[in-house]
Structure 1
Amino acid sequence: MIQEKEKQKPNIIVFFTDQQRWDTTGVHDNPLGLTPNYDRMAQNGTHVYNSFTCQPVCGPARSCLQTGMYATQSGCYRNGISLPEGSKTLAHYFREHGFRTGYIGKWHLAGQDPVPESERGGYEYWLASNVLEYSSDAYDTVMYNNEMKAVKLPGYRVDAVTDAAIRYIDDNQNDPFFLFVSYLEPHHQNHLDNYPAPLGYNRQNIGNWMPPDLAALGGSAAQHLPGYYGMVRKLDEALGRLMDSLRSLNLLENTIILFTSDHGNHFKTRNAEYKRSCHDSSIRVPTALVGPGFNGGGRIHELVSLIDLPPTLLDAAGIPVPAQMQGHSILPLCRKSGPDTDWDKEIFVQISEDKVARAIRTERWKYSVTAKERNGWHDSGSDVYEEEFLYDLHADPYELDNLIGVEWYQQITEQLRERLLQRMERAGETRPVINASPVRTSAIDRRVEIHELRDHTINWKYQQ
C-alpha cells in the first residue's frame, strides 16, 4: 500500500532557462519558429501568458524561486550572496514528503565553486556549478558532483546538461522525484560578451524578425540576436528530448514540467548591460506547465510572478504551502472558468545591483521608482525613492514614451504610488517615502480620459 501510494505522487521537473525573453516563443507571436516544443506544451498544458520575474538579476531571482520569499526577505538581494544557513528551499519540502531531489546546472546561490554540501539548498543529487558561465564554455562543460569533483561533460553545453538530466530520470524512475535543471542559455558567455549558439544555429536567424523595442532602441541586438535565437532553438530541442525520455519510460503522464526563466534581456537598450531594469524586456518571461493538474489548463491571463511558482509546485504535489512563502499557487487559476477577481491586479518587482529600485506592473500600467542616494550593491532598500518611469502599456506596449511627471497622468500616478507602497509593505519592507516627479507637459497629445481613470479606480478598489 505504501509503495502504491508513493507511485501516485507526480514527478516534478523544473526546466529553468537564463535570461530568456517571453517573446522568443511562438505562443507569444515570435514568427521564427524557434520553440515548437514549448508552444505545444503551452497549448496542451497551462500557458501563463503574463509571467514576470520578481527580481531581474540571476542570484536574487533564483533565491525567490528556491525559497518562495522575496529577495529582501531571504537576504539574497544581489549576486554574490549565499543562501543563509538554515534557509528552507523547495528541495527540503519535497524531501520531507518522500521525493528524491536533484539539481543539475547553474546554482548561483553559494559563495564558492565547487559548492559544499552545506550550500546546496538541501538537494541530494548534485551536478552543478555555482556560476556556470565561469566554469564552462559553449563546448567545454564542467560542473561538480556530490564529492565536489570536476566532471567534464561532452557536447554543446545545453546537450550536456540535458544528457545529465535524462540520466538522472532514468536512474530514479521508480521513485517520485523533484529535479531542477538549470541551464545557462540563452545568457551571454561573460568573458567574451557573446551568445555562442551551436555551430550553424545562428546563421538561420541573421536579418530576421526583431522585437519592436529592440528595433526602435538598437542596443546590441543586431550583433547578439542571431546567437541568442540559436540558443533558444537549442533549448527547445532539449525540452523535446527531455519529454521524449519521459515518454519512453512511461513517466510523462505522471510528471509535472514547469518551464520558466529567471529574467529577460533588453540587449543594452535600457542601460549598459542586459537585464537590471523595470521594463518588460527585463522582467517578462515565458512560463508554462504541463502534467497532472495542468493539462488542459488553457491560457492564464492573470499577472503571475516568479514568487508564485514555488507554492504552485508544492500545491500540485499535495504538499502544504508554508506560511513564509509570499506568493500564491496558480492551481486555482487553472480550474476556473473566468477571471479570478481575488487575484492580485499587479506584480511587484525589486531591482538591485546597478541601482536600488522598485516597480509594479498592472495589466495597463508600469510604475517604477529609484533610490538615487543608494548603492544597489551595498543597499537592499531605501527609506526614500524618486519616481523614475511611468508607461501606459495599452498605448505604448514597448515602453518607448516615459510619462512620469506628465500633468495629465498625475491622478493615475498617485494611485500607482500608493499601490507600490502597499506592495512593498506586503513584501516585508518598511514603508518608505516616494518623492513625486516634477510636473511637466508632454509633446505628445495623450491623456487619461475620465472614464478610463474611473474604471481603473473601481477595479483597484474592488481588488482591496
Structure 2
Amino acid sequence: MPETIESRRSFLKGTVATAVAAAVSGAAEAEQSKGAAAKPASRPNIVLYLADQFRSDFVGANGRNSSTHTPNIDAIAARGKNFTHAVTNQPVCAPARSVIFTSRYATETGVWHNGLELDKSLPTLAGELRKAGYSANLIGKWHLALENPAQGGSPGAVKAEDRGGFLDLWEGANAIENTSHPYEGTIWDRDGKEITYKDEYRVDFLTDRAEKFLRQKHDKPFFLFISQLEPHQQNDMHQPIAPKGAAARYVNSVVPDDLRALPGTWQAQLPDYYGCIESIDTSVGRVRRILEEEHLAENTIFVFISDHGCHFMTRNQEYKRSTHNSSIRVPLVIDGPGFRGTQQVPELIGLIDLAPTLLEAAGVPVPSTWKGHSVLPLLNDPEARQHWPNQQLIQISESMTGRAIRTPDWTYCVADMSGGKELAAKTYTEYQMYDQRADPNELVNLAGRKEYREKANELREQLKKLIVAAGEPEPEIVEAKLYP
C-alpha cells in the first residue's frame, strides 16, 4: 500500500528526533568520560543569504552553465550540501518569503500575492530562534508587510510588529526595489531612521552592513538574514542592472536551452543578469571571509538560497509566476555544523522545508503546525531517503490562479480558466504537463494528450491530496481537451 503524506511526515520526524537525541546523548557521554559535567553544545550561528530571482542553473556547481562565474558559492557546495533539486512553493517574491519563514503554504500565511502582510499569529523561524536565545537580525529586503500606503503600509520602513520576529538588528526596506536603485537608495533601521547610500553598488552596500554586524561582539548565537535584491530586475527600469562594466564581460555568453527557443527579454538582459550573479557571488565570498577572520565560520551554518527563478518573459508577461523550472527551481547550498562534507542531494526540496531544517540543526523544537520536513535525515540515513515524499506543491498567483505538483519526473499544472486571480479556485482545468526526463527544458506541453491520460489521472489525484494537505478544499479538476 502506498504511504500517506502523514505517515511519511511521522517517519521523518521520528528519524530526526532519534538522530538529535543520539547526538546529545553521545556528547554527554563524551564529557562524562573525561570526568567533566555534561555541558550542552553551543548553538550554531545561522546566516541565511538570499539572492532574489537567482536561477538554479546559474550556480556553477550545478554544472549546467559554462558562462556563469560563481567560485565562492561553488566552494560552499564543495564543502557542504548542494540540494540540486530545490524548488520554491510559490514563484513570486513575497509569497515565497512567507513560506520560507513560516513553513506554511502561501495560502495559509496571509501573503498569497505581493503587497500583503504576514499573519502575525504564525510562528516564524526568527521568532522560534529568538525564543531559544538567538538574536534575529535582518539586512536588506523584507517584503512581508503591507506595501500600499493607502492601506497603512509602506515600501520602506517596517513597524516592529510587522517584522516576523526580526527584533534585534534591522536595516532594511519592505520592498527595497521601490526605495533604492543600483547606485543610490535608502533603507531604515529598527527605529525608523534612514540609512542612505550613494555611488556604491547596492549589493556591496548591503554587504558592508553585514560586515559591520559580523565584526561586532556577540554574546549570544545569532540568526542573520542577508536579503539582496539582485539579480532581480530594478522595477522602474524593467531589467536587472549589473555593476558598472560587468555586463560587457558577459556579451555572447551561454543562453540556457529553455530560453533559447522562445521569445522574451533574455536577448537584451542576460549580460546584466550574469553581471549581477557575479556580484552576488563576490558578496558571498566576502561574507564567508569575514566569518573566517572573526573565528565564526566553524560554528556557523551558512545557507545560500533564492526565492524563485527567472524565465525572462518567455512563459508569460512576467519574470516568474509559472510552474516551469526556470521559475521554480532555486539554488540551495548549506555548509556548517551538521552540513559538512561534499554531498549532492537529488531529492525534491521545497522552500517550505528550510525552516524546520534549520531549527533541527540548531537543536530547537519545530512547531507542530509547520508543514515542511527537515532535510537532515537525507544526509545520513538511506532509509529516510526512501521515505522522503519527493513531491512538492506549487501555488501560482498574480499571473493566474493555479496549482501544480512537481515530482522528479513530472510537472502537472492546473489553472482557473475563468481568468480570476483569487486566493484559490473551486474548479481548475488541466493546463500544463511536462515530462522532466524527456523534456527538461519544458518545450512540449503534454496536457490533454490521450497517450498520457493515465499518468495525468494519477498526478491529478496526487495534486488533490497536496491541495487538501495545504488547507484548501478539494477542488474539481477538469480534463484538458486540447487533443483528441
> Scaled by the length of structure 2, what TM-score is found?
0.88
Contact 1:297/1:334, CA 8 A, preserved across alignment: no
Aligned to 1:235: 280
Compute the displacement of 1:149 (Å): 1.2
Residue 20 of structure 1 aligns with an amino acid whose one-letter code is F
Cα displacement (A) at 1:290? 0.2
The answer to whether residue 73 in structure 2 is matched with residue 41 in structure 1 is no
The aligned amino acid for 1:242 is V
Q: Structure 1 regions of 5+ residues with no counterpart?
A: 442-464
Of 463, 469, 473, which residue of structure 2 is paired with 1:420?
463
SS in 2 for 1:88: coil
Residues 367-376 or 40-49, more deviating: 367-376
Structure 2 residues not aligned, in runs of 5+? 1-30, 32-37, 147-153
Partners of 1:86 and 1:432 in 2: how far apart? 27
Separation in 2, partners of 1:5, 1:172: 23
Q: What is the 5 A alignment of 1:291-310? A: 291-296=336-341, 298-310=343-355
1:16 equivalent among 13, 32, 50: 50
Task: Please tell me whether the aligned partners of residues 374 and 382 of structure 1 are also in contact (alpha carbons under 8 angstroms).
Answer: no
Q: Compared with structure 1, are the counterparts of its residues 240 and 40 closer, same or farther at alpha carbon in structure 2 (3 Å cutoff)?
A: same
One-letter amino acid of the counterpart of residue 230, structure 1: G
Helix, strand or coil: the match of 1:267? coil
Asked if 1:128 corresponds to 2:172, the answer is yes
The equivalences for 1:136-215 within 5 A come to 136-153=180-197, 155-215=200-260
* RMSD of Structure 2 on Structure 1 (CA): 1.6
Preserved CA contact (<8 Å) 1:173 1:251: no
Partner residue of 2:425 out of 382, 398, 412: 382
CA distance in 1 between partners of 2:320 and 2:342 (Å): 30
1:121 offset after TM fit, Å?
Answer: 1.1
- Change in Cα spacing, 1:148 to 1:7, as seen in structure 2 (3 Å) is farther
From 271, 275, 279, give the equivalent of 2:324.
279
2:91 counterpart of 1:91: no
Give 1:420-459 correspondences, 5 Å limit. 420-438=463-481, 440-441=483-484
Identity %: 41
Residues 314 and 393 of structure 1: is their aligned pair in 2 closer, same or farther, counting only changes over 3 Å?
A: same
Q: Distance between the aligned counterparts of 2:48 and 2:482, measured in 1?
A: 46
Deviations 1:198-256 (A, max 9, x none): 01111111111010011111310010000011000000000000000000011101000
- Pair 1:393 & 2:436 matched: yes
State the AA in 2 paired with 1:63: S
Q: What SS does structure 2 have at the residue aligned with 1:196? A: coil
Pairing 1:327–2:372 present = yes
> Could you tell me how far apart the structure 2 residues matched to 1:109 and 1:339 are?
34
Paired positions, count: 437
- Residues 6-43 of structure 1: CA distance to partner in whole angstroms, max 9, x if unpaired? 88110000000101110101122211241111111112
Cα distance in 1 for partners of 2:279, 2:482 equals 48
> What is the SS of the residue equivalent to 1:400?
coil
What's the CA shift for 1:85?
Answer: 2.9
Measure how far apart 1:405 and its partner are: 0.6
Secondary structure of the corresponding residue to residue 185 of structure 1: strand
Contact between 1:297 and 1:335, CA under 8 Å: does it hold in 2?
no
* 1:437 to partner: Cα distance: 0.8
Task: List structure 1 segments (4+ residues) > 4 angstroms apart after TM superposition.
Answer: 4-7
In structure 2, C-alpha distance between the alignment counterparts of 1:384 and 1:172, rounded to whole Å: 55
Pick from 95, 99, 122 the counterpart of residue 60 of structure 1. Answer: 95
Mapped partners of 1:394, 1:300: distance in 2: 18
SS of the residue 1:8 aligns to: coil
How far apart are 1:427 and its partner, in Å? 1.0
Q: Is the 8 A contact 2:118 2:144 kept in 1?
A: yes
**Equivalent position amino acid for 2:454 in 1:** Q
Residue type of the alignment partner of 2:449 = V
State how far apart, in whole Å, the 1-side matches of 2:233 and 2:430 are. Answer: 31
8 Å CA contact retained: 1:366, 1:390: yes
Partner of 2:299: 254
Query: What does the per-residue CA deviation read over 1:273-300, in whole Å, with 9 as the maximum and x for residues that have no partner?
Result: 1001010000001111000000015110
Is the aligned partner of 1:264 residue 2:309?
A: yes
Cα distance between partner residues in 2 of 1:75 and 1:81: 7
Structure-2 separation of matches of 1:397 and 1:409: 17
How far residue 338 of structure 1 moved from its aligned partner, in angstroms, is: 7.2
Letter paired with 1:125: L
Provide the residue aligned with 2:5 in structure 1.
none
